[in-house]
Structure 1
């Protein structure tokens, strides 16, 4: 009985702290989502790129315009025509945009990472990994970092998409993210968030290696299906269940994440329900001081 009362007190105290924080700071909602917008130019040659992009893209734009996110980090926005469609379709509600980056003259696709913001942003750095293997080599896998200005407050937001095929490549990408993005910019006075598809399951031993390398943490997730990629998604095969999409953050007195959850938006296609993408959204609510 005593333990039950203590639990109630702890819960109420947590709610009180969250409400107090929201009164004294600026509340923000950050979303990360791999939307699987593969290049349409390859569709005549392989069914692997035929993902109903022309049907899904307008629905995703409509959905994001109706959502109440402040910052959005998208991955796999590879198709250039869809990049432009998303940019134009969201420009009113998300006027500050970091488009997917492609550096140099190369046959490779861009990074596919796109950042959308209601608040002014400033590009800081993009590091191309150049460690990819197999099909991951088709894109310039990278990590991009921007500075976000919210009134007089500042935060840093990184977006990335790590390799899915090679564990060795991911290890190198952990290290490059740490040495070229986090080490130069991470400090105790500015909130930093790193969002994306890390292709590292939270229950795998590599997750501990990754978070230790980054020196960042992730908020708890209270969900009966704590997966951002699973077999119940209409695009995926049976037997897959992974939480591989994260919004990591540093711990300092200038921000306080207080809630994290998964959203699973769908659309109707030929009378049946279809997921908008093969990944679900991971969403973090936080307060900036």
Structure 2
């Protein structure tokens, strides 16, 4: 075969693969087997192989990843991880550094069922109906007065709407949703009650199921999020970001999560969110974090803790929204990774799987050459000025499930217009398509020990005085916190055999108290134990500094149940949270850190020496 064609694999590459497959019992690679492997892998997505942290080598193709590594006896071994559910569950558990280890040999493909063998067990994936999600910031921002959105903040006169007319813009939104063919559409900056109603009514035949918010009974504007679904919505949850600055302080910006329940496939969750914008002024200011960037970081931490507390671990969580963070920059990517660590940015994930000679430039969702505002001249979408300068602030992210997985297969911009060359918003829409799978696994490695400790207490919302939620952005809570981690045998209701205790006193709005790792504050147990996290929190209500009452909040939840679930946690640690704790108008999340130590592989060396191969 040719050695330097990006669409094919080199002779040297095939020779090394043959050596690796012989290491796991395969015969010589004849033409038919090569043809089957080529169909299984697709075309190279990486031009060269890479070396991982433990000395193995890997290369991505458009349909999977091939790994090469060595056993202690010097035998070279190879294996393929196919795209889709197998890859997603393996990735969630830590890839080759996790409990499954490296792939072994070729996957078994049987219709819509794929089974892959790994050093530590097997993963089976069954393909389900594909799904797609679209997000669009409509720029229909306003302050709702008796159902009618105003273009500026009443009394203060601060302008918030800057478009060419709400009516034509609303029509463009309806047309965009109707034409989307998405399973779920999330719209942002839909502030007007009548405008939301108009959209829901216009698209009801295609999207009969809806959710909106977040909102609360206060004078502030709602969060402006509208979720439209073709499938039934079984559950709706929402949260309001309490750390904010400037004009955003007059709205209930936050997140809305829906649990989508299709009749023709497994459930999945979608979260719509809208983070702190760049304010025109620095007042008012609430919560933690300094300036707009500090508020966004606080809001990401809030979203992270909230997802941990309310999600179903079995299901994937697709997060879309206007993050006001440019993920095309190193600083933006770092901010997302540090503050929303379990969620993967789907644009680089999608681009990663494209053929090596067909990689795409980064998307631009907030274009410097936008023609949205009045007075700007039309610029055709085909113009070379479009999509070159600006930022990627409208994002799609994924927090993967353990029983159902979503695997990104497509991602594109949607560019609504009022007329040719005139943008309908100062944002482009994004649409993401997914291959859905149900997954299962078998593991053959044993747990040596598991260590658990309380990592954070996060105050998502505190109360003021004697539990006054409308003024809850003002003062810190005075709280007494007692946290205990218990261990016990599965299925036993008696009080477990060991425990550790923590305590804390004061929490501010948006504050997240981190507990330092201390051996005396950890609990070590074997793989046969359950872990129970019990949090007891007393809110101390004060008026003018005097205590006037207490409200008790408590929760007791099994955090880890079966041993197989323990093994799915990355060796470097995995976070868990009990259900959202609510009480006297407040919301708290307690986050437990689990570190699982499993028996090592003894059959392979850590630093194999494969020669560099170019394909």
**Which residue of 236, 239, 255 corresponds with 1:124?**
236
| Aligned: 1:249 with 2:395 | no
Give runs of ≥4 in structure 1 deviating > 4 Å: 15-21, 43-48, 221-225, 236-240
1:136-177 Cα offsets, whole Å, 9 max, x none, are 112111111111112251111111000022011111101110
Larger Rg computed on CA atoms: 2
Bigger shift: residues 253-262 or 11-20: 11-20
* Alignment partner, residue 34 of structure 1: 137
- Provide structure 2 residue ranges, at least 5 long, that are not aligned to the other structure: 11-41, 46-60, 65-81, 85-110, 114-125, 143-148, 279-291, 352-358, 377-384, 438-615
| Aligned: 1:144 with 2:193 | no
Distance in 1, matches of 2:212 and 2:223, equals 9
Residue-pair matches, total:
283
Q: 1:132 deviation in Å?
A: 1.1
CA 13–83 in structure 1, closer or farther in 2 if over 3 Å, else same: closer
* Alignment partner, residue 181 of structure 1: 307
* TM-score, structure 1 as length reference: 0.87
Distance in 1, matches of 2:62 and 2:406, equals 18
Q: Spell out the pairing of 1:8-87 with structure 2 (5 A cutoff).
A: 9-10=43-44, 13-14=62-63, 24-39=127-142, 40-42=149-151, 48-51=160-163, 52-87=165-200
* Alignment partner, residue 424 of structure 2: 276
Distance in 2, matches of 1:225 and 1:217, equals 16
* TM-score, structure 2 as length reference: 0.43
Contact 1:32 1:283 in 2 (8 A): yes
Distance in 2, matches of 1:82 and 1:144, equals 19
Contact 2:365 2:428 in 1 (8 A): yes
Q: 1:114 deviation in Å?
A: 0.8
Distance in 2, matches of 1:161 and 1:254, equals 25
- Provide structure 1 residue ranges, at least 5 long, that are not aligned to the other structure: none
Q: 1:240 deviation in Å?
A: 5.6
Higher fraction of helix = 1
**Which residue of 311, 316, 319 corresponds with 1:191?**
316
Bigger shift: residues 234-243 or 83-92: 234-243
* Alignment partner, residue 156 of structure 1: 269
Distance in 2, matches of 1:206 and 1:13, equals 27
| Aligned: 1:113 with 2:225 | yes
| Aligned: 1:201 with 2:326 | yes
Report SS of the residue matched to 2:202: helix
Bigger RCO of structures 1 and 2 (CA < 8 A, at least 6 apart) = 1
How large is the Cα RMSD of the aligned pairs?
Answer: 2.8
CA 198–13 in structure 1, closer or farther in 2 if over 3 Å, else same: closer
